[in-house]
Amino acid sequence: MASLSTLPASPAVRFKLDALLETLRFAQNQTIKTQREIQALIQREPQLQKDINLLTTIPGIGKIVAVHLLARIGDGRLIERTKQVPAFLGLVPRENSTGDSVHRGPITKSGDSRLRNKLVQSAWMAIRTDGALAQFYHHILARNPKDHGAGKAIVACARKLAMRVGAVLKTRTEYKRTPLTSVSDSPRGQLDG
């Protein structure tokens, strides 16, 4: 920003550039103030701090994602089934059913798109540290065409993360990883909660 402030330009360009820089400075200051307010709120609310700490026990979920999740989900005690969370976040497939036929399509994308994107990014981090989730990712990847298999697989992992979020908030307990004992272990039971 400092170099843009001293960049030689015509008066009209300088006026516009200075206005844009001022807008950027204002946005940065507002972001800092908002982050401080969020930190103060978390420190004043012990239950909120506890919920954030519980959520960060899930591989791939950091403090920023945990805060955003709690802002959208609210009181985790109101969650009846863990499958409600991925549905709320738009991470479940669309379904078009008629009679005996069931056709599943792309995810619904309902809810907060920024939070959904954060969960997808969290899933990329989680598959690096969670063997069961990595195994699940590779299983889905192998079942789909190469041109879009990675996208489907990581969204499926994000859905699993959302289910873990629901389980942790509902039970108010830390997430416990179940270690894989062999490559042939099925990740299904380990990922559903």
The pLDDT value recorded for residue 177 is 81
Q: What phi and psi values does residue 128 have, to the nearest 5 degrees? A: -80, -25
Taking the chain (193 residues) in consecutive chunks of 10 residues, what is each chunk's mean pLDDT? 90 95 96 94 93 96 95 90 93 85 84 94 95 94 92 95 95 83 43 40
Q: How far apart are CA 54 and CA 190, in angstroms?
A: 18
The pLDDT value recorded for residue 180 is 59
- The residues facing 107 across adjacent strands are 93
The pLDDT value recorded for residue 88 is 93
Cα distances from 88 to residues 56, 96, 111, 179, 185, in angstroms, run 20, 18, 6, 29, 30
The pLDDT value recorded for residue 99 is 80
**Whole-model pTM over 0.85:** no
In the numeric block, which tokens belong to residue 151?
């996208």
Contact 54, 169 (CB under 8 A): yes
The pLDDT value recorded for residue 1 is 87
Q: How far apart are CA 92 and CA 94, in angstroms?
A: 7
